[in-house]
Amino acid sequence: MLIFENKGVIDIESITTFGVSSKEGKNPIGFFGTGLKYAIAVILRLGGTIDIYRETKRYSFTVKTKKIRVNEFNIVHMNGKPIGFTTELGKTWEPWKAYRELACNVYDEGGTVDSTEDDYPPHFCDNTTTIVVKCKELEEVHADNDIFITSKPLEESSKIEIHKGMSYHVYYRGVKAYRLTKPSLFTYNILDKCDLTEDRTLMYGFQFISHIEYHIAKFSSEPVLKKILSAGEESFEHALDFSGIGTFSDEFLKVCEDNYHKRSGFNRHAIAVYMKVMRKDLSEKKVTVSKTENKCLDKAVYFCKLIGYNVEEYPIIVIDHLGQNVYGLAENDTIYLSNGIFDKGSKFVASTLIEEYVHLKEGFSDCSRELQTYLFDKVISMGEQITGEVL
């Protein structure tokens, strides 16, 4: 059996009256009263038993069948008297929700939850409320122990924690509170205030997701950030959108920079905000090239024109840094080249100029089927000109 116990004496009217919620803690996580009625109904519907000891006084809950109009209902009774609800209450609740309700109510009052195989004698402690439950399903929930988070977080702030381990649930202040449609790579515990439904479920998905997005953008662990931002389509994290966030940690931007060239396998919203941050500084990163570098650039531009790509149709600006393994960028009707590109020779400079020119001229994006088709068509056309054979 399960023993839910806390100091303080429960007001019987909180059991028999709907709409009662009275907690002494500053941040209660339970709906004391209404949720308790739901838990009682669920336990009785599952065939279990529940007794509440109010100091020395025992209150036992049972059901009696009564026909109302054309249907029969199991009316919940307390010490043999009906208390105004049936076992239909909380009909959609799974057993873990009933356990969570009782446990949260006890924890709100600074109490404890224990299990025992012994018969529990009547409790005679002053100023104590004890709830005794015999229900196989709730005992299994207690044994699984996934209702509450007890692990040490990998990353944390005053508003959110991220814990190790895949999960189908999001937690609210340490309590399981929302089922995801896709599993998350990590387990998220929201500490900031969120709206809850009466059954303690997070009411608005967008609300807790925005908390997760905002604080991930501020995280400092590069390994954790890389896993989150590289999550596949089968994961919850894949759809996280960072476009509405104003500032990012240096580590977040570093992970984006390191994985910029892997756009097809990286969070597209993270790439977009990285690009936005990077664009703000483009004009400030402009550098003056050396005579040798300028000669390399002129040679590449001349070659591009010879084969039909007038890359000088757009301004060409050399800047200090575009990111790791990023040598060219087409933005604002301008071709930007990273200063490090000249170490790779004029042939590489020419190929980069052509790629960025095509982005601007044709509107094709990186790693797209349209860009691939366009370039291969051009290769075949050049081959036709060289061989004199038309395919």
Residue 70 is predicted with a pLDDT of 84
Rounded distance between C-alpha atoms, residue 306 and residue 390, angstroms: 21
The sheet with strand 328-331 has its strands ordered as 316-319, 334-338, 328-331
Which pLDDT score is estimated for 21? Answer: 56
List, for residues 112-126, the tens digit of each pLDDT value. 999 988 776 655 678
Q: Are 43 and 138 in contact (CB under 8 A)?
A: yes
Domain ranges (residues) in the chain:
2-144, 155-280, 285-386
Check residue 32 and give its pLDDT: 43
CA angle centred on 95, ends 93 and 100, rounded to 5°: 90
pLDDT score at 31: 45
Taking the alpha carbons at both ends of the chain, their separation in whole angstroms is 81
Give the span between the Cα atoms of 387 and 308, in whole angstroms: 18
Query: What Rg, from alpha-carbon coordinates, does the chain have?
Result: 32
Architecture of domain 285-386: 2-Layer Sandwich (3.30)
Per-position b or e across 219-255, b if 16+ CB within 10 A of its CB = beeeebbbebbbbeeebbbbebebeebeebbebbbbb
Token pair recorded at residue 83: 């208390």
Residue 388's region, left for phi above 0, alpha for psi from -120 to 50, else beta, is left
Ordered per-residue pLDDT tens for the chain, 391 residues: 999 999 989 888 888 887 665 555 444 444 445 789 999 999 999 999 999 999 889 999 999 999 888 889 999 999 999 999 999 998 889 999 999 999 988 888 889 999 988 776 655 678 899 999 999 999 999 998 889 998 999 988 888 999 999 999 999 999 999 999 999 999 999 998 888 887 778 888 888 999 999 999 998 999 999 999 999 999 999 999 998 888 999 999 999 888 876 667 899 899 888 877 776 666 667 888 899 999 999 999 999 998 888 999 999 999 887 766 778 888 878 899 988 899 999 999 999 999 899 888 888 776 667 777 777 777 777 777 778 776 6
Q: Nearest to residue 155, comparing CAs of 237, 228, 239, 60?
A: 228
Contacts of 337 (CB under 8 A, 6+ apart): 297, 316, 317, 318, 319, 327, 328, 349, 352, 353
Could you identify the residue written with the tokens 């239909």?
Answer: 88
Cα(294)–Cα(381) distance, integer angstroms: 31
